[in-house]
Amino acid sequence: MTASRYLPKLILFFSLVTPAVFAKAHLAVLLERGDTAFGKRNQKEALKRALSFYKEAQSRFPQSSEAAWKYSMALHSLATRFTEEEATRQSLFHQGVEIAKTAATREPDCGPCQFWTAIHMAQYGELAGIFKMISTLSEIKERLEQAALLSPEHAMGGPYRVLGTIYQSLPGILGGDNDKAISYFQKAVAIVPNEAINYLPLAKLKAIEGDLTSAWNIAKAGLQMKDSAKDPISLESKETLPELSQIITTMVAEN
């Protein structure tokens, strides 16, 4: 067969492949490369590569909610893992809020967009001062509730886990409630039971309340995820394993 016989098919193919198709493919490649690098986010250079890919995706495709929340997510990792200077962390949280919030406004049903908006708002408010934190608290909780409805499994059950942390951390006068915190932590475990990170806050709170038997059992269940989970546990879950082990070790020493 000669090349000329293929020419009509090639012409037909390229006439059907629109610029939008090429753009979608380019976005997918950028996000995939970002995801691969983000998998090693505990290594600064890998995280920088992820940020570069996500930033390019968000810049080239500003209507992509996925590019926006992934860039916001990576900024959060940079702030919490590798940034010591408080003003720089605050700047990164503020940038993360703006990126995720813009996407959430454009696409209210984007659960991850709502989640990362709330996370950055909370940590920005924590650094900006108690009054800023109080003034945004209601919106933070509303966005997390929305994220829990839309994407409960995102960030390893993150919406419920963070809601639990908020209710545990707040003083009673601002709505703090350990019973609500426990309920949210239990929902995180139920939604994503194979991630050890969901067991840690529940075990710690049970220990604080004096329910040492429950704390022991929860910590032990979390540690078992290292070997029994069907899929590899997340980096964050691996990082919680020493704390879960410490809970059990401490209880053994005290008894």
Q: What is the pLDDT of residue 75?
A: 98
More confident residue, 11 or 196: 196
Which among 138, 159, 135 is positioned nearest to 148, based on CA atoms? Answer: 159
Q: What percent of the chain has pLDDT over 90?
A: 78
Distant-in-sequence, close-in-space partners of 23: CB < 8 Å, separation ≥ 6: 61
The amino acid present at 32, given as its one-letter code, is E
- Give the tokens for residue 25: 């493919």
- Count CB atoms within 10 A of the CB of residue 155: 23
- Give the tokens for residue 119: 């996370």
Say if residues 64 and 58 touch (Cβ distance below 8 Å): yes
Q: What is the pLDDT of residue 8?
A: 66
Question: Has residue 109 got a pLDDT over 50?
Answer: yes
Quick: pLDDT tens for 198-245: 999 999 999 999 999 999 999 999 999 988 766 778 999 999 999 999
Quick: pLDDT tens for 145-191: 999 999 999 999 999 999 999 999 998 888 999 999 999 999 999 99
Q: What is the pLDDT of residue 232?
A: 79
pTM confidence score: 0.89
| Residue recorded with tokens 């490369």 | 33
Kindly report each contact of residues 164-168 with a partner whose C-beta sits within 8 Å and lies 24 or more positions away, as own/partner. Answer: 164/188, 164/201, 164/202, 165/201, 166/122, 166/137, 166/140, 166/141, 168/201, 168/205
| Average pLDDT over the chain, rounded to an integer | 91
pLDDT band at 1 (very low <50, low <70, confident <90, very high): very low
Task: Find the helix packing angle between 111-128 and 86-106, rounded to 10°.
Answer: 150
Quick: pLDDT tens for 12-42: 555 555 566 557 789 999 999 999 999 999 9
CA-CA-CA-CA torsion sign (132, 133, 137, 140): positive
Q: What is the pLDDT of residue 250?
A: 87
What is the Cα–Cα distance from 193 to 208, expressed in whole angstroms? 22
What is the Cα–Cα distance from 113 to 84, expressed in whole angstroms? 26
Question: Has residue 11 got a pLDDT over 70?
Answer: no
What is the Cα–Cα distance from 83 to 73, expressed in whole angstroms? 15
Quick: pLDDT tens for 42-78: 999 999 999 999 999 999 999 999 999 999 999 999 9
